[in-house]
A = this chain, B = another copy of it.
């Protein structure tokens, strides 16, 4: 997902460093062969990936790390920035909109500052923000002093000569500050620190010389988000103070006020220490969306002592286990790109419950997750495409619990809707469609266990029948969303139709024949917006008139983040039907060719250095399946060439190695699938469309311990074309792989070559399934 702002960010980011050497970091001998060593968390931190470099556990609630900015990046960090504001507890991974960045921990020596030093400049292009260490507590830093690896981040801040090291557990973080000799080595905590948005209320309470708790309520992208913390210090402080609204909180002798607590909307507190050279002070911080008591419980459960290195080690072990889900044969660079992508797919959704099982739900009440692990951060418009399908292959238990979490959301929704874009159990209503549906449908269709199908089906159906949400009701009535009633009406029509296809498939599986028919009819609604003249999707008003004027190359308010040229292809449930509408394979593939050509529409549509090939925009999700569509038109070699081009051009092992927002793992999950040689073009259908393998060998260790292996004979960068395939020992001429052939374990062997084999996968019966049958060939 990419919002309008992020496009601006990307334009700013065109000037990315052209040279980057991967930071080397020390490792013990027995870790030398670990796959986590190929992960470089700095990949994607520049150039628009909007991922964060700090330590986190797989799906951890805590993402501890540096913030180099509070306004411009959704994750708070850009490789191109030159100051660090502080180290905060939570970060989003590659979203289009900023939030989180809770509580800035800022080390220093001597006199402290309590404002970050943000300079706001108003220009006619809008407000611009920069950070000046002379004006506040932000400090310059250099990448040569920075180490980012799995489970560990460190940076030496030269201004006060403080070494900062960070590590994380699921619900807590630990910071190790190595100070110089000073009579005032400080750890200042800005409770009002949050990315972009506003702290509405906050509190701090000093419980002892080594324990402080607090909270803030943030009105942000998540409209009402509570975060509590408990910070324990390795050493009793020498001095302690609280700042409220820029003033020191002191003992008042008129009407008593304690200097040990404060409540308000602008609070900082600090502890200071008299330190000898290289003296270490550690702070460990538990967080919770429920209460400071839970934050402390989380902390005590996960970091009982002060063994920083053990926290690093445990985190790295957990990630190593994750990385071993997929082993590949490839160059170091290939492995770095691949494992960093795999790492990015296992960040979100995050655990959203405390160690005692409590969480703050959509209804803001405190619930206890019974029988499942509660997750949040559901960027579903993005992640239904490849992120969740990847979870189905390697983490079915977790995927089921993510679905259970969505069902809990549904139960608590005033609109009886499944989550659209849920952030810490706030519904942000971001993006369009109801894409919890394909996630759930995909799991049901693939037999994922661990949630109740009937309950889930009821939630899916009720969501699709909602009388208020974004003209779904009108869609059901007219067969399309009219542009005079609703923005982004073309995108919504196409996505509703797809989501409804998913419901129909589930209805059929669950024996609900009438529902199947009803939703299949809705699934075919895409046809209503196909303009046979333009051979493109085009908006209609409620009276059935085509929109005029019509410019399919431009960003349009009838399209979600893109152009009609891009969105026309979103009929994953019935690509053959689209081919038929276009007049057959040849017309279809010619039209598709035009999308990838650098021509007029490319000039009209320019999203900067953000994954463009002609009018195709890999930097945003609506394009993600398009490269695979040539398979349906029996020109699979074009898919093979394109997928190879995208994999190598838009994914690499440098800070700007992601061409667009990672969107909670979707951008990376696309890569993982594509490197393996296949992709879930239509989640809820039980097949994957074949692209081209991106490495020589890969083993996919499935959720239940089985293994599916991929071999690419004659693999090289030049040999990007599939010559032939065997699946589980048998010759395979289809351009798709049934789910069963993977899920039961097995083996696919690609034989590669430098020239297209136009005889492979081009028979009429080779193409991936669609609802419609071919009518013209």
In the complex, what residue of chain B is closest to A206 when comparing beta carbons?
B414
1/0 per residue, CB under 8 A from B, across A231-265: the answer is 00000000000000000000101111111110111
Q: Is A430's CB within 8 Å of the partner chain B?
A: yes
| CA gap between A136 and B251 in the complex, in Å | 42
1/0 per residue, CB under 8 A from B, across A198-233: the answer is 001101011100000101010100011000000000
Which residues of chain B have C-beta atoms less than 8 A from A365's C-beta?
291-293
Which residues of chain B have C-beta atoms less than 8 A from A263's C-beta?
219, 223-224
Residue in B205, B219, B364, B414 whose beta carbon sits within 8 Å of that of A363 in the complex: B205
> A207-B414, A263-B223 given as contacts; is B257 within 8 A of A292 (CB)?
no
In the complex, what residue of chain B is closest to A294 when comparing beta carbons?
B365
Taking the nearest CB of chain B, how far is it from the CB of A661, in angstroms? 18
Whether A485 pairs with B363 at a CB distance below 8 angstroms is no
> A253-B471, A261-B414, A470-B253 given as contacts; is B203 within 8 A of A201 (CB)?
no
> A224-B263, A293-B365 given as contacts; is B215 within 8 A of A201 (CB)?
no
Which residues of chain B have C-beta atoms less than 8 A from A420's C-beta?
256
Taking the nearest CB of chain B, how far is it from the CB of A773, in angstroms? 36
> A253-B470, A429-B257 given as contacts; is B364 within 8 A of A215 (CB)?
yes
> A224-B201, A253-B470 given as contacts; is B258 within 8 A of A291 (CB)?
no
Whether B217 pairs with A468 at a CB distance below 8 angstroms is no
Residue in B201, B251, B255 whose beta carbon sits within 8 Å of that of A200 in the complex: B201
| CA gap between A292 and B412 in the complex, in Å | 12
In the complex, what residue of chain B is closest to A365 when comparing beta carbons?
B293
Whether A258 pairs with B200 at a CB distance below 8 angstroms is no
Which residues of chain B have C-beta atoms less than 8 A from A257's C-beta?
429
Residue in B217, B293, B470 whose beta carbon sits within 8 Å of that of A256 in the complex: B470
Which residues of chain B have C-beta atoms less than 8 A from A468's C-beta?
251, 258-259
Whether B487 pairs with A429 at a CB distance below 8 angstroms is no
| CA gap between A485 and B252 in the complex, in Å | 11
Taking the nearest CB of chain B, how far is it from the CB of A248, in angstroms? 15
| CA gap between A429 and B429 in the complex, in Å | 43
Which residues of chain B have C-beta atoms less than 8 A from A264's C-beta?
219
Number of copies: 2
Taking the nearest CB of chain B, how far is it from the CB of A258, in angstroms? 5
Q: How many residues of A contact B (CB 8 A)?
A: 44
Which residues of chain B have C-beta atoms less than 8 A from A256's C-beta?
420, 429, 469-470
| CA gap between A257 and B415 in the complex, in Å | 10
Taking the nearest CB of chain B, how far is it from the CB of A523, in angstroms? 22
In the complex, what residue of chain B is closest to A259 when comparing beta carbons?
B468
Q: Is A8's CB within 8 Å of the partner chain B?
A: no
In the complex, what residue of chain B is closest to A208 when comparing beta carbons?
B414
Q: Is A366's CB within 8 Å of the partner chain B?
A: yes
| CA gap between A213 and B361 in the complex, in Å | 14
Q: Is A81's CB within 8 Å of the partner chain B?
A: no
Residue in B217, B255, B414, B471 whose beta carbon sits within 8 Å of that of A217 in the complex: B217
> A217-B217, A291-B364, A363-B293 given as contacts; is B253 within 8 A of A205 (CB)?
no
In the complex, what residue of chain B is closest to A295 when comparing beta carbons?
B365
| CA gap between A253 and B488 in the complex, in Å | 9
Which residues of chain B have C-beta atoms less than 8 A from A219's C-beta?
201, 263-264
Which residues of chain B have C-beta atoms less than 8 A from A470's C-beta?
253, 256
Which residues of chain B have C-beta atoms less than 8 A from A487's C-beta?
253-254
Which residues of chain B have C-beta atoms less than 8 A from A265's C-beta?
200
Q: Is A541's CB within 8 Å of the partner chain B?
A: no
Whether A255 pairs with B429 at a CB distance below 8 angstroms is yes
Taking the nearest CB of chain B, how far is it from the CB of A310, in angstroms? 29
Q: Is A486's CB within 8 Å of the partner chain B?
A: yes
| CA gap between A203 and B420 in the complex, in Å | 20
Interface centre among A257, A364, A430, A485 (most CB of B within 10 A): A364
Whether B363 pairs with A292 at a CB distance below 8 angstroms is yes
Taking the nearest CB of chain B, how far is it from the CB of A226, in angstroms? 10
Whether B469 pairs with A414 at a CB distance below 8 angstroms is no
| CA gap between A205 and B361 in the complex, in Å | 13
Residue in B215, B224, B251, B258 whose beta carbon sits within 8 Å of that of A414 in the complex: B258
Which residues of chain B have C-beta atoms less than 8 A from A205's C-beta?
363, 414
Which residues of chain B have C-beta atoms less than 8 A from A254's C-beta?
487
| CA gap between A256 and B470 in the complex, in Å | 6
Which residues of chain B have C-beta atoms less than 8 A from A213's C-beta?
363
Which residues of chain B have C-beta atoms less than 8 A from A292's C-beta?
363-365
In the complex, what residue of chain B is closest to A224 when comparing beta carbons?
B263
Which residues of chain B have C-beta atoms less than 8 A from A260's C-beta?
414-415
Taking the nearest CB of chain B, how far is it from the CB of A426, in angstroms? 9
| CA gap between A584 and B698 in the complex, in Å | 103
Taking the nearest CB of chain B, how far is it from the CB of A76, in angstroms? 23
Which residues of chain B have C-beta atoms less than 8 A from A363's C-beta?
205, 213, 292-293
| CA gap between A206 and B413 in the complex, in Å | 10
In the complex, what residue of chain B is closest to A293 when comparing beta carbons?
B365
Residue in B215, B258, B291, B414 whose beta carbon sits within 8 Å of that of A366 in the complex: B291
Which residues of chain B have C-beta atoms less than 8 A from A414's C-beta?
205-207, 258, 260-261
Taking the nearest CB of chain B, how far is it from the CB of A209, in angstroms? 12
Interface residue ranges of A480-494 to B (CB < 8 Å): 485-487
Whether B203 pairs with A364 at a CB distance below 8 angstroms is yes
Taking the nearest CB of chain B, how far is it from the CB of A569, in angstroms? 24
In the complex, what residue of chain B is closest to A254 when comparing beta carbons?
B487
1/0 per residue, CB under 8 A from B, across A252-294: the answer is 0111111111011100000000000000000000000001110
Whether B486 pairs with A253 at a CB distance below 8 angstroms is yes
| CA gap between A261 and B412 in the complex, in Å | 12
| CA gap between A256 and B488 in the complex, in Å | 12
1/0 per residue, CB under 8 A from B, across A408-425: the answer is 000000110000100000
Which residues of chain B have C-beta atoms less than 8 A from A203's C-beta?
224, 364
Taking the nearest CB of chain B, how far is it from the CB of A654, in angstroms? 34
Interface residue ranges of A363-391 to B (CB < 8 Å): 363-366
Whether A255 pairs with B430 at a CB distance below 8 angstroms is yes
| CA gap between A364 and B226 in the complex, in Å | 13
Interface residue ranges of A447-500 to B (CB < 8 Å): 468-471, 485-487
Taking the nearest CB of chain B, how far is it from the CB of A381, in angstroms? 12
Taking the nearest CB of chain B, how far is it from the CB of A420, in angstroms? 7
Which residues of chain B have C-beta atoms less than 8 A from A366's C-beta?
291, 293, 366
| CA gap between A342 and B537 in the complex, in Å | 78
Taking the nearest CB of chain B, how far is it from the CB of A216, in angstroms? 12
Taking the nearest CB of chain B, how far is it from the CB of A491, in angstroms? 13
1/0 per residue, CB under 8 A from B, across A161-180: the answer is 00000000000000000000
| CA gap between A207 and B412 in the complex, in Å | 9
> A261-B414, A263-B219, A468-B258 given as contacts; is B200 within 8 A of A253 (CB)?
no
| CA gap between A251 and B466 in the complex, in Å | 12
| CA gap between A201 and B264 in the complex, in Å | 12
In the complex, what residue of chain B is closest to A264 when comparing beta carbons?
B219
Which residues of chain B have C-beta atoms less than 8 A from A469's C-beta?
256
14 contacts between A and B (CB under 8 A): A201-B201, A201-B217, A201-B219, A203-B364, A205-B363, A213-B363, A253-B486, A255-B429, A256-B429, A256-B469, A256-B470, A260-B414, A292-B364, A366-B366
List of 4 A-B pairs having minimum Cβ-Cβ separation, nearest first? A293-B365, A260-B414, A256-B429, A224-B263
